[in-house]
Structure formats: C-alpha cells, structure tokens
Amino acid sequence: MKLLSLFLCLIGLTSLSLNAQDVMTPETLWNLGRVSLDDANEHAVIYGVTNYDLDENKGNRNLYMVNKASGEVTQLTDLDGGEYQAFFFRGGQSVGFFYQDQLHSVDPRTGEIKALTAIEGGVSDAKCVELKEGRLVMAFVTSVSMEKTPLERRPHLPMANYAVYDELMYRHWNQWTDYQFNHIAVAVIDPLSDQPVTEMVDIMAGEAVHAPMPPFGGSESFDISPDGRFIAYASKKSVSKLDFATSTDSKIYLHDRTSHVTATVHGLDGYDNNPQFSPDGQWLAFTAMAEDGYESDINQLYIVASDDAGKVQTLDPVMETEYVSEFQWLSNSSIVYRDQHEATQHIHRLDLLKGKRGLSKRHIVDLTSGDYNYGHFIAKGKHVVAQRQDMNHANELYLFSSKKASDVQALTHVNDSIYDALDLCKVEKRWIPTSDGGSMLTWVIYPPHFDASKTYPTLLYCQGGPQSPVSQFYSFRWNFQLMASQGYIVVAPNRHGVPSFGKAWNEQISGDWGGQAMEDYLAAIDTLAKEPYVDKANLGAVGASYGGYSVYMLAGIHENRFAALISHCGLFDMKSWYLSTEEMFFANKDLGGPFWQDNEPPSYSKHNPINYVQHWTSPLLVIHGANDFRVPVNQGMEAFQAAQLRGIPSRFLYFPEEGHWVQSPQNGLVWHDEFFGWLKKWLKD
C-alpha cells in the first residue's frame, strides 16, 4: 500500500492547474472496467469485465450476462485468475468458458460450475461447435515439442544456461523461442458427463509448423464446420524457417477428421487467414492479402465452396474494400463485416448472390455510422452486438439491427458512473492540406474547460505502425483524453501511410519513412500553431514505435519548433535496427531491403534519424522495454547516449520486464508519471 500511495502521490504532482476531481487522471484510467464481448444469442449477451488491482499489480476478468430486452445483468463467475472465451450452448441453458487453461461450464440459473476438460498441458484459444446430439467438438491450441531443448542436447550439463540457434526466427516480439510449436488439437466432450475429458487428437502431429501463427494468432485463425467434421486453419506450412521471418505467405488448410486428410486452400501470395464456415457448411470464407512480405496489404474477403476448397482455382474478392478487419456469417447468404474508413471503424452487412463462380456481392448495407470505433461483434438473427469506443470513452457494448441502419442501444454501463463525474474533452475533426496536394484528417483534442481566450501547451502525437490509422481508439497508455485532461491540446494527424484513406495513401510510406510523413507532421503542427490559443513556444512531440522513430527524425529537422520530445520504443538507427529486429518481411518491405545492396535505400541515409543527431536541440525522454524484440532496446540506448554526449537534456526510462508495450499496472503508473513529469518540466502552461 505504501508503494501504491507513493505512485499516486507522484502522479498528483504531474497534474497541471486543473480540478483533479473532474478530469481524467492516470489513477482513474486504471479504475475503468475493461469491457469485452464473448458471445450472444437471440435473448442475451455474455461479456467480460477486467478490473485491475493496483496493490496486487494484476487484473482479473469476470463474466456477466445481460438480457437484450430488459437490460438485466447477471454475474456468471467470480473466480480468481480470469475467465475467457465464454459461449452459449444447450439452447442457452449452459455457458461454457475457459478457466485455468481448461473448459468449464456454468449454469446461468444456479451458478453451478463444472470442469469439462482436464487435458494435459491445458487448453488455449479454443472454439466449440455443438452437435445435434448435444456433444461439443472443441478445437484448440496446444504446445508440442518438436526440437531438442538445450538441456536435452547436453543432459550431462544440467547447470548450463545457454541457447543455440541455426535459423531465423529465434525470437519474436517479446519471447525467445521455446523449441515448441503451436498445433491445433481436437477433443469431443459430453457436457452432461460427470468426468472431464482428458483425451485429445493433434491434427498436425509430426509437423514442425505453427498454427495459429505466433505471436498474435488465436482462435480467429481456425474454425470448425457445423457438423464438426472439418477444421480449417491458417499456417505457413509452405515456407522454410528462414522464410518464416521473410515471408507472409500463409495458407488455409482444411483437415477432414473422418479421413485424416488435410487439403490446401490455394489462396493468395500474402497472408490468408480468418477462415469461417457458413452456417450450412457449404462455403468457406477467409481474408487474404495479395503481396508476399507486405503485412499491411489490403485485406479482402474471399469465398470458396467447401467441396472445392482444395482445388487450384482463380479467386476474386467478393467485394472491393480496403481492409476487412473482421467478419461473421449472419446466414448462408449474408455476412456482417467490419472495415475502416477515414479513421473510424464501422460494421456493414454484405448480401450475397449465388452464381456460376460461387457467391458474389449483391449489395452492402451500412449498419453503423459516426465518429466511433466499432470493434469485435457478434451477429445473430435480427441483432448485432458490438464493442464501441471513442476518444472519450472506453469500450461498452451496443445493440443494433442487422437489417438496416438504426439507432444503437447501450447494453452495458460499466463505466458510466466514472465518466458522468468527469468533464470530457472536445474532439474536433480537421482536414489539413499536405505538401503533395492531398488532404489529411487530423483530430484535435481540447482540454476540459477549454477557453479559446487562453493559450495552451500543445502536443503533436505521432502514430505507430506505420500503417495504422489514428482512429477513434481509446488506449490505456496513449490516451488522448488523459493527455488533454492534463492541460494540453493534442494534435493527432492521419499522415501518409495510414489505412482507411485509400490504397495509394496507405502505400506511400513504404521506403519513405522520413519523407512525406514528416512533412505531414510539420504541416499539422504548423497549422494548429496559427491558432491564437496554441502556445507556439511550448510545443511537444510524442510517439511510440514508428511514432518514436518520427520523434527521433523530427528532433533533427524541426528547426526549433518543439520544446520537449518523448520517444517510446522508437527506431533510431535503421542499420542496427535491420540487423536486430525479427520479422524481416516488415523491414524489407518498409525500408526497401538490406543496406548492403548496390543502391542503398534512402531509409539508411536520408531517412535515418541517427544521421541528424548533430541538429538535436530539444530535451528528450527515451522509454524502452528490455523484452522488445520488434524494436530492440539498443535503439533507445543509442538515442539516449547520443543525446547525453551532445549535452541535450535527456532521460532514459527503462523497464526490464516489459516488451513493446507496458502492461504491468504499476509500471503503467510509473510510465504516466514520467511522461507527464517530463512535459511539465519542459512545457510551461
């Protein structure tokens, strides 16, 4: 408790001259319940709420059920450790969920909980299909040892601590290889039995490949046919271990549990993923990217007949759209999907027409609108339930029609009492001209109690990715509401390189990281600096990942615009980064390949922040985690050391146990304290 009190005291010191009781603070941000959707049927919705205990430095997720008609909420679980991936079965009489890596069930009427599996090694990222006779077919991810560990190589040296690697990818995002592979396994469960199931079948036995693909692949990467016979899953089986680091060529594989034969669905050359069977099992839909090695290519929807899935055939997208983020069959002739448009995420219904070449688009109905991000959704019958957030509100669940655009109804109110006590921020949408003749959507977030007759220190927010839009997201780290509530105007541009503004806008940035995007950032801050309420002498630039790179790049070219800079896990020297990162397909596509080519790409010279250190003048806070393997910690250390040796006021905030993101609650409080402390020191209100 003393440690927590110290944190909260420090955070209090960072607040500017505002009433701390009616604006967002770091403590309030951590007090929010984090709402996420699990399942829905015609009558009710299951969701989880994660709450964090700052003293214990951990979170816990409990399950709830809300009645669609009455809004009545029932708490389903209150276990220690978190419950996940809940689903209805037995006509809604039972709810399945995963707890402590095993499948359990709970009776919503009595609260009785029963373990349905006791599988050695545990169950993760599972999906279940209920058969007509009441049994459940469960597909899930299991870890399989396929290579010798260091101890197994030299059992006579049990005290040795070492690792040996012969190929890429030997580490990924925040984990070193553990000599194991993700495999899809299947178990058949009788939910009425008194004995939990212990048996499983590894449908990929003997294959030294991953499915789902690490590090982020989960249950969205596979599906079960309605009759339980077929498992469709995504994997990079066709590439070598070296190619795993340089290629994105994944395929969908269709495993027949009856014949034990696995067929390849011949998709496109890039990522094929997210397979889903139609309700009658006749069709298999999936998303795919055309270009191998381009992880941010347009992601379109394809549908093949399940009987023909293994045949080589010409594939055409069902519709022309920039990026399908998520989709779900509503019926055998319609699909509900989510995409991005002009820095918002919305949900649509696609109606399908059967023709000689399969299913094709009949028409599209927009189901949502407005300046919101609609997230994960469940489409059942006449309703869609979806997570929704905006820059002033974390996720809550909303209900709306699957038939037409209509009013949305709030289903959950987990954080209403907190937000009702706060003065929220005004969010303004601006279109700012760019130097190449384009127009850039820029969000401007104003402090609570904003007074246009006063002047405010102002932050330029630099987005990561680089192919990631500044949408209506609600981050628990880079939270615009929190920044503005500390007395700053926040300028958040959708510069060249972000999706949802067309393919050309998105692709412009590859090979040009330090070019047009930097001009866009300067155009945004220069445009806002013309406003009388922006304090031109107290501008800051902040960002993470590519946004952190942007801060380092701007540090050398901003010509004294910025009085304070903050870079979290930013790329500083493109040559050393190329040789220390892990997913080489990303580096090759976005930088233009290695620096030892005959014609060295400009990424290593003109667009390399290290080459502009001699022009640095502004105070710099560098933040990095030791387990960040996407942007290794040497990048932050080099930038900090350069600033120190040049006599630039600088600080290095180092988290030994964090990766690309800061996930520990108490580390998060430290992060915000240092972040706002640095701004307060160098930007005057």
CA atoms within 13 A on the CB side of 500: 22
CA–CA gap between residue 472 and residue 586 (Å, rounded):
25
CA–CA gap between residue 35 and residue 18 (Å, rounded):
29
5, 440, 525, 587, 617 from 612: Cα distances, Å: 42, 26, 21, 21, 11
Question: What would the two tokens of residue 173 be?
Answer: 């995002």
User: Radius of gyration over alpha carbons of the chain, in Å?
Assistant: 26
Phi, psi at 385, each rounded to 5°: -115, 135
In 71-168, alpha helices (H) = 150-153
Find the angle CA(69)-CA(72)-CA(77) to the nearest 5 degrees.
Answer: 130
Cβ-contact 323, 340 below 8 angstroms: yes
CA–CA gap between residue 553 and residue 564 (Å, rounded):
14
Residue 295: CB atoms within 10 Å: 16
Q: Is 614 helix (H, G, I), strand (E, B) or coil?
A: helix
Q: Is 213 helix (H, G, I), strand (E, B) or coil?
A: coil
Nearest Cα neighbor of 649 from 553, 561, 566 is 566
From 104, 183, 607, 660, the catalytic residue: 660
Q: 545 an active-site residue?
A: yes
CA–CA gap between residue 425 and residue 444 (Å, rounded):
10
From 339, 512, 628, 673, the catalytic residue: 628
Nearest Cα neighbor of 146 from 201, 202, 100, 217 is 202
CA–CA gap between residue 398 and residue 376 (Å, rounded):
11
Question: What would the two tokens of residue 102 be?
Answer: 């095993």
From 105, 221, 545, 618, the catalytic residue: 545
Helix 665-682 with 2-14: angle, nearest 10 deg? 30
| Residue written as token pair 């049927």 | 41
178, 242, 246, 468, 607 from 167: Cα distances, Å: 14, 6, 12, 30, 30
Burial class for 456, CB neighbours closer than 10 Å (0-12, 13-18, 19+): buried
Cβ-contact 512, 519 below 8 angstroms: no
Distance, C-alpha 339 to centroid of its chain = 14
Query: DSSP character for 219?
Result: G
Q: 451 an active-site residue?
A: no
Q: 341 an active-site residue?
A: no
Q: Is the dihedral of CA 391, 392, 394, 397 positive or negative?
A: negative
| Residue written as token pair 């399950």 | 63
Cβ-contact 552, 609 below 8 angstroms: yes
Positions annotated as catalytic residues are: 545, 628, 660
